[in-house]
Chain A
Amino acid sequence: MTNEFIKLLGKKNLFIQGDEAAVYGALIANCRFFAGYPITPATEVAEGMAIWMPKLGGVYIQMEDEIASIAAVIGASCTGVKSMTATSGPGFSLMQECIGYACMAEIPCVIVNVQRGGPSTGQPTEAAQGDVMQAMWGTHGDHQIIALAPKSVQETLDLTIEAFNLSEDYRVPVILLMDAEIGHMREKVVLPEITDIKVEDRVPATIGIDKYRPYGTGFTRSSKVPEFAPFGSGYKTYVTGLTHDKRGFPVTTSAEVHEELVRRLIEKVSDDIDIIWYYEDSFLEDAEVIVVSYGTTSRPAASAVKMARKNGIKVGHVRLITIWPFNYEKMKDLLKNAHTIIVPEMNLGQMIHPIREIVNRDAKIISAPKIGGAIHTPYEILKIIEGSKN
């Protein structure tokens, strides 16, 4: 087994930024098309792609804006090439329509959003977690995407590979929700051993060309994900954002066709929630207070929980790695014994909403928001933990 990018890079121990780690992860996963419009703090992703893509026979293209960028990514992916774009808040807003298109047409793609302070152009160089709800609900209509939130540079690399795998497995857009802090942070990164790297590819069409229906399922397996035939392969494919039948042709007034399609788009992901919902927990056994965090905020949260434990407070920590879809059942179970839940976020309270839905009524839920660019300090979170004892 070999990995073209790792061979070309020639070293295993690196000291790189989060943005670069997203590039390296994508290239390890065999991403060979990148279209983007550079924007702070995601510019280094485009830079890295511009450097590496030509060396790997891939394509880097700087488009005129973010709408064109995601459209190009979807088009490239239709030909069977693993494709990615990277942006930040203002660009992510522009991409929403096409993210919906990729959901509807089931085109695998990875969108890296290195979050900065918003709304609008906001704070270009400052970190935020303000796009959490937008990642799930930015595009209109019922749908399901997958979003992953790394907490370190190493995890950015690992989760970028995973983002491609999930995108390919489920034929769904996957959003890597980073932030300016991780995007620009440098840490020691160790590339995975080639034998440990799992790279998934979309399931190809195997049925005879005359029998193939692009959105028919179950031809070769029982999953709700249809087999993929790339443009130019000889198979007849048809792609549209309109509600379509199994041949891919628009059927826009049938409630039956619409319901079957939209339910399948959601269920193909949500049926596997226990497989794709990644999380970490610590000190939960006897925890009366639980801190729930994701992304960068998990780092001061972890420090605060350890400090509070030293002070004898029964506090635990749950870190969400897959933030969308949200695993309601599992979260309910993890949080069931706590009398207080604390949710630190670099926004004015977003992930707290699904948590509020599942926590039992007697428990107190404390939002610990922080905006403006600086990440929470461990002491800020510790104070809230200490204050929640009674």
Chain B
Amino acid sequence: MKAGIRISGFGGQGIILSGVIVGKAAVFDGFNVVQTQSYGPEARGGFTRSEVVISDEEIDYPKVESATVSIIMSQEAFFKYALRTKKEGIIIYDPELIPDHKIEGNFKLAEVNATRIASELGTKIISNIVMLGAFNEVCNLISKDAMIESIKDSIPKMLDLNLNAFEVGRKKVKIIT
């Protein structure tokens, strides 16, 4: 098994932390994992992406070329990365952040209003965890237990709020195609 997950958006959305949580969860599930990240010098704003390669074999090339799963949290990132998803791969996105999400091709699309759901739960900053809930629901890559374990291990504050965001993301994700 080998899979590449690409999470993209802008600085401040927790894109890199999401990659770390997915990566660590995959380690808990016993996989070899490489997580990489790319961002500009800004503290907030600016283009950000994080990539996770998961394999049961040794991983040479650490980057994702065509993603098995794309998790996308900004319009710019959607234009840039949606098409760099594998055939029959999954694209998970927040439709309110990405009004223009028309895409041609053989992909499985899943929507979750992560930013709005996060605001309703109390704070926008947990929108990345809502996305991860959606990711865990629609993909069979990583076990739910490992994801929860990884969230607990990676987020020191407001743990209950984050675990709740994860659950709500799992429930509210809509598979479009």
Contacts and interface: CB of A to CB of B under 8 A. Distances in A.
Interface of A: 13, 15, 40, 124-125, 181, 184-188, 296, 299-300, 302-303, 306, 375, 377-378
A124 B63 contact: no
13 contacts: A13-B27, A15-B23, A15-B35, A125-B40, A181-B36, A184-B37, A185-B62, A186-B36, A187-B34, A188-B27, A300-B60, A303-B60, A375-B63
Interface residues of B, number: 19
B79 interface: no
Nearest to B153: A15
Contacts of A375: 62-63
Given A13-B27, A15-B23, A303 B61 contact: yes
Contacts of B20: 15, 186
Given A15-B24, A303-B60, A185 B65 contact: no
Nearest to B65: A377
Q: Classify the secondary structure of B's interface with A.
A: mixed
A15 B27 CA distance: 7
B12 to A, nearest CB: 16
Given A15-B23, A187-B33, A188-B33, A299 B39 contact: no
A300 B61 contact: yes
B140 interface: no
Given A186-B20, A377-B61, 11 more contacts: A15-B20, A40-B41, A125-B39, A185-B35, A185-B62, A187-B33, A187-B34, A299-B61, A303-B60, A377-B63, A378-B60
B32 interface: yes
Interface of B: 20, 23-24, 27, 32-41, 60-63, 65
Nearest to B39: A125
A378 B61 contact: yes
Nearest 5 pairs between A and B by C-beta?
A186-B35, A303-B60, A302-B60, A15-B24, A303-B61
Contacts of A300: 60-61
Residue in B24, B36, B38, B62 whose Cβ sees the most chain A Cβ within 10 Å: B62
A125 B38 CA distance: 8
Nearest to A301: B60
Contact of A185 (B24, B32, B36, B39): B36
B17 to A, nearest CB: 11
Nearest to B32: A188
Contact of B60 (A13, A187, A188, A306): A306
A280 to B, nearest CB: 13
Nearest to A126: B38
Nearest to A305: B60
Contacts of B23: 15, 186
Nearest to A13: B27
B40 A181 contact: no
Nearest to A374: B63
Nearest to A188: B27
B34 A185 contact: yes
Chain B CB within 10 Å, residue with most, of A40, A125, A303 = A125
Contacts of A186: 20, 23, 33-36
A296 B36 CA distance: 12
Contact of B41 (A124, A187, A306): A124
B62 A299 contact: yes
